[in-house]
Amino acid sequence: MIRVIYRWRVQQGQQERFKAIWAKTTTRIEATTPGARGSMLLQNQQDASEFVTIARWDGVEHWQAFWGEASKTAMREMHALAERLSADAFEEIEDCTV
């Protein structure tokens, strides 16, 4: 299991729209992409234009298969509203959240 952490800078005044598009996008990716296990969305409390999304994947090979052209198409609406600052994959060692 891996987690992919994306950092985003959302255009001023587009935060609510970004949240709605993210929800639609992550639901669609999870439903249609092998190995996709959903995502969570976080907003920086000190800078409302900065968001972090944390996606869960069965393995790095699933995410890499998605990462090419598929990710550009699936995330097109998000990219129209925000600049993706980074995308980093991490192995999930343990999850103690409830």
Share of the chain above pLDDT 90, in %: 89
Ranges assigned E (strand) in 13-77: 36-43, 50-57
Cα 58 from Cα 36, distance rounded (Å): 7
Read off the pLDDT band of 42 (50, 70, 90): very high
Residue 12: which residues within 8 A CB-CB, separation 6 or more? 49
pLDDT tens readout for residues 67-82:
877 777 889 999 999 9
User: Which amino acid, one-letter code, is at 20?
Assistant: A
Higher pLDDT, 54 or 98: 54
- Domains defined along the chain, listed by start: 1-58 (3.30.70.100)
User: Which pLDDT value is given to residue 19?
Assistant: 98
pTM confidence score: 0.92
DSSP helix/strand/coil, 49: coil
The first and second tokens of residue 64, run together, are 């890499």
User: Which pLDDT value is given to residue 6?
Assistant: 97
User: Which pLDDT value is given to residue 12?
Assistant: 95
